[in-house]
């Protein structure tokens, strides 16, 4: 009897990517086989996203395309779009069943989703990842969100904040490093709420210091941790002290900033931080990290965002040392307070503002590449041949001398130039 073949397609955030890898491993262990590009899968699982209207539209388009290409395959839609738009996803051509996000862990038994009853998780949904052929991976330590930003659908799709056992996170990190990964991104839906549900409660920075200390004796200089998206309110004195002491954490932060206007942040339900917090923190961070990458997410065209509010955001971006950014136009999400706000911004204005901010960020990215090309050496992790990878500051690197370091190795290289794709480097040593 042949092994049942599956294909897995993922949209959305890093946590979704982590969960897809966990599902893939579980199915392979249970005797399923991932279909190659020239094979017809029997099962197709789409791990969907619903954070924007565009993400839901991408899910619809993908499902229709997959059904056209493989009309005989059974399609299962899971993830956040399946949680919120269950009936709509179920009505798409070729879809056999939808599995809501909060029951996704049940899919670990196999892509054949007919033999279990979906349930909602009341604890941390375990998606253990034990292996990966990649050089860089994810370490999911938290799920869900209990905050309730006025624009955000995530509390509806993933439920309240839940924390993974610190001991399980440490065990998984050790296993993945020993299995060959050389970088893990510490990820969650809202790391600001990490540990609040534990007994006793545990602060995220205390957890990170503990995780780093337990891994550093074996892995300092050989592997690294990277922080996933952080709330600006987490940029505290304690954060600086922790980053100063950590030996594995890469010099790179990504912030869930959304807007530079205090008034728009208040209307978003994000009045718990002020943009000026970032200015102060970054000035002090330079004492710890002489070189660091700084990215952020921006949500433009939120209801009530006038020209002055947008210019406040643009001015903040010009002023701070951002090295890249992700810019999204606001789209009303069903069931969220902001969807009912009357002062919605016209779509052409949203598009114009997004284009302006992306242009500013692209100029800053170019300036950062020029700066990074002046460094004496760059540590980067080799992800594929010819030697390419990501630097400590989150810049793509390409080795140009013809050297062939092992994939999944941490190497030291000398930057010799840059182009629009990243840094050009020459190999020095490997670890």
Q: Residue 115: which pLDDT band, with cuts at 50, 70 and 90? A: very low
**Could you say which of 109, 125, 151 is where a domain stops?**
109
* Strand partners of residue 186: 139, 227
The confidence score (pLDDT) of residue 409 equals: 92
The confidence score (pLDDT) of residue 131 equals: 58
- Where b means 16+ CB within 10 Å and e means fewer, 43-67 reads bbbbbbbbbbeebbebbbebbeebb
3-state helix, strand, coil in the chain (%, to 5): 35, 25, 40
pLDDT at 426 over 90: yes
* Strand partners of residue 384: 388
- Whether the CA torsion 169, 174, 179, 182 is positive or negative: it is positive
The residue ranges of DSSP E strands in 183-334, in sequence order, are 183-187, 224-227, 252-258, 293-300, 326-329
Start-to-end CA distance of the chain, whole Å, equals 44
The confidence score (pLDDT) of residue 118 equals: 41
* Residue 286 shares a structural domain with residue 366: yes
Q: Does residue 303 contact residue 343 with C-beta atoms inside 8 Å?
A: yes
* Residue 155 shares a structural domain with residue 257: yes
CATH classification at residue 180? 3.80.30.20
* Residue 408 shares a structural domain with residue 350: no
pLDDT at 121 over 60: no
Residue 120 lies in a domain: no
* Residue 360 shares a structural domain with residue 385: no
Maximum mean pLDDT: which of 19-23, 110-114, 377-381: 377-381
Residue 341 lies in a domain: yes
* Residue 390 shares a structural domain with residue 363: no
* Residue 93 shares a structural domain with residue 140: no
**Residues 289-304: tens digit of each pLDDT:** 999 999 999 999 999 9
Strands 293-300 and 326-329: parallel
* Residue 303 shares a structural domain with residue 155: yes
The confidence score (pLDDT) of residue 202 equals: 97
Q: Does residue 404 contact residue 368 with C-beta atoms inside 8 Å?
A: no
* Cα Rg of the chain (Å, integer): 22
Give Cβ neighbours of residue 50 (< 8 Å, ≥ 6 apart).
56, 59, 79, 80, 81, 83, 84, 85, 153, 157, 333
Residue 342 CB coordination number (10 Å): 6
Q: Which of 39, 36, 80 is nearest to 59 (CA)?
A: 80
Token duo for residue 376:
């004496």
Residue 347 lies in a domain: yes
* Residue 176 shares a structural domain with residue 252: yes
Q: Residue 107: which pLDDT band, with cuts at 50, 70 and 90? A: confident
* Residue 193 shares a structural domain with residue 273: yes
Residue 117 lies in a domain: no
**Residues 344-354: tens digit of each pLDDT:** 999 999 999 99
Q: State how many domains the chain has.
A: 3
**Residues 301-325: tens digit of each pLDDT:** 999 999 999 999 999 999 999 999 9
Q: What is the average pLDDT across 109-124?
A: 49
Q: What is the mean pLDDT of the chain?
A: 91
Q: Residue 156: which pLDDT band, with cuts at 50, 70 and 90? A: confident
Cα 227 from Cα 208, distance rounded (Å):
9
**What ranges in 96-179 are assigned the alpha helix state H?**
154-158, 166-178
Residue 338 C-alpha from the chain's centroid: 24
Residue range(s) defining the domain that contains residue 387: 378-430
Q: Is the pTM for the entire model greater than 0.85? A: yes
Q: What is the average pLDDT across 369-397?
A: 95
Going from the C-alpha of 55 to that of each of 20, 42, 49, 62, the distances in angstroms are 17, 25, 6, 10
* Residue 348 shares a structural domain with residue 310: yes
**Residues 190-199: tens digit of each pLDDT:** 999 999 999 9
CATH classification at residue 58? 3.40.50.2300
* Residue 98 shares a structural domain with residue 169: no
**Residues 184-243: tens digit of each pLDDT:** 999 999 999 999 999 999 999 999 999 999 999 999 999 999 999 999 999 999 999 999
The confidence score (pLDDT) of residue 431 equals: 55
Q: Which of 335, 272, 268, 348 is nearest to 302 (CA)?
A: 268
Higher pLDDT, 19 or 237: 237
* Residue 26 shares a structural domain with residue 44: yes
SS3 track for 250-282: CCEEEEEEECCCHHHHHHCCCCCCCCHHHHHHH
Q: Residue 134: which pLDDT band, with cuts at 50, 70 and 90? A: confident
Q: Which of 327, 330, 386 is nearest to 360 (CA)?
A: 327
Residue 354 lies in a domain: yes
């Amino acid at each position: 009897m042949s092994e049942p073949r599956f294909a897995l397609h993922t949209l959305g955030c890093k946590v979704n990517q982590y969960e897809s890898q966990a599902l893939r491993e579980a199915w392979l262990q249970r005797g399923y086989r991932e279909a190659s590009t020239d094979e017809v899968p029997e099962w197709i699982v789409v791990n969907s996203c619903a954070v924007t209207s565009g993400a839901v539209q991408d899910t619809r388009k993908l499902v229709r395309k997959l059904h056209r290409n493989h009309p005989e395959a059974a399609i299962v839609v899971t993830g956040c779009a399946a949680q919120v738009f269950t009936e709509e996803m179920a009505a798409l051509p070729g879809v056999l069943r939808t599995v809501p996000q909060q029951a996704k862990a049940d899919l670990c038994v196999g892509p054949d989703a007919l033999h279990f009853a979906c349930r909602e998780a009341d604890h941390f949904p375990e998606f253990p990842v034990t292996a990966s052929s990649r050089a860089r991976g994810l370490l999911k330590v938290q799920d869900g969100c209990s905050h309730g930003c006025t624009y955000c659908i995530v509390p509806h799709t993933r439920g309240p904040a839940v924390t993974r056992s610190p001991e399980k996170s440490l065990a998984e990190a050790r296993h993945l490093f020993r299995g060959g990964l050389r970088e893990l991104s510490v990820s969650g839906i809202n790391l600001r709420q990490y540990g609040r549900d534990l007994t006793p409660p545990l602060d995220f920075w205390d957890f990170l210091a503990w995780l780093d200390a337990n891994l550093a004796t074996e892995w300092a200089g050989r592997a690294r941790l990277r922080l996933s998206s952080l709330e600006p309110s987490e940029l505290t004195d304690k954060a600086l002290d922790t980053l100063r002491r950590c030996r594995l954490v890469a010099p790179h932060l990504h912030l869930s900033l959304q807007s530079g206007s205090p008034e728009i942040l208040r209307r978003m339900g994000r009045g718990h931080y002020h943009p000026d917090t970032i200015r102060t923190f970054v000035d002090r961070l330079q004492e710890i990290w002489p070189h660091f990458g700084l990215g952020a997410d921006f949500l433009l065209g939120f209801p009530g965002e006038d020209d002055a509010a947008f210019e406040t955001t643009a001015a903040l971006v010009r002023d701070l040392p951002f090295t890249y950014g992700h810019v999204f136009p606001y789209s009303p999400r069903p069931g969220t307070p902001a969807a009912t706000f009357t002062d919605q911004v016209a779509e052409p204005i949203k598009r114009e503002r997004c284009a302006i901010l992306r242009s500013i960020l692209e100029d800053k990215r170019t300036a950062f590449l020029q700066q990074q090309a002046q460094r004496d050496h760059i540590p980067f992790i080799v992800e594929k041949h010819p030697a390419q990878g990501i630097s400590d500051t989150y810049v793509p690197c390409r080795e140009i001398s013809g050297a062939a370091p092992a994939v999944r190795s941490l190497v030291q290289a000398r930057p010799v130039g840059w182009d629009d794709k990243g840094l050009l480097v020459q190999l020095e040593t490997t670890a």
